[in-house]
Amino acid sequence: MKKVLLVLITLITFVFLITLSSQEFTYVGPNKCKVCHRAEKLGKQFIIWEESKHSKSFKALTSEKAQEVAKAAGMGTKPTENPECLKCHSPLFKKASNITKEGVTCEFCHGPGSSYKKLSIMENREAAVKNGLIIHDSSEAIKKLCLTCHKDSQEKSFDFKTSWEKIKHPVPGKK
């Protein structure tokens, strides 16, 4: 009887671990993040994003200047439909077409939020990470991510330190 129980517990644990490891996280969009991350006690993180150029990066592709740049580059499609433009102005366009117009969202940096968006999970950093939250552990890791788009983008220089000061969004009282 003990062996059967042990085998059953082992089997249930194994199935649970396989299910957990094969879990596919999905993107939920910034409006789900807004619910909590507008708050003062969380450093108004959503507001910082909302007021940044990241939240407006897709909209920038609709401008006359974007049309001119695309034409000069010989692009046959509108910037809002061109993968070369979208890879930076809406980097999740392939993975989450439903949020393409949101630009560079929270989830581009922090991973798909479907499984960590619940308050009970977000209150536990380890649980949030296990559920897909990406936390960059150093300024070098953040810089590396930023440079996937900002390295000599459109021949504009990129000063990480100055740019990071504009968009950083720590939780007050935490590092």
Percent of the chain exceeding pLDDT 70 equals 85
- Spatial CB neighbours of 43, under 8 Å, sequence gap ≥ 6: 169, 170, 171, 172
Q: Are 49 and 106 in contact, with CB atoms under 8 Å apart?
A: yes
Q: Are 107 and 96 in contact, with CB atoms under 8 Å apart?
A: yes
pLDDT of residue 157: 86
Instruction: Give tens-digit pLDDT for 46-78.
Output: 999 999 999 999 999 999 999 999 999 999 999
Instruction: Give tens-digit pLDDT for 72-111.
Output: 999 999 999 999 999 999 999 999 999 999 999 999 999 9
The mean per-residue pLDDT over the stretch 137-165 comes to: 89
Locate the DSSP E strands across the chain.
none
Q: What is the pTM of this model?
A: 0.82
Give the Å distances, CA to CA, from 40 to 24, 51, 60, 91, 174.
32, 15, 29, 28, 14
Q: What angle do CA 133, 134, 139 make, to 5 degrees?
A: 150
Return the domain boundaries, the chain.
26-114+136-167
First to last CA, the chain: 51
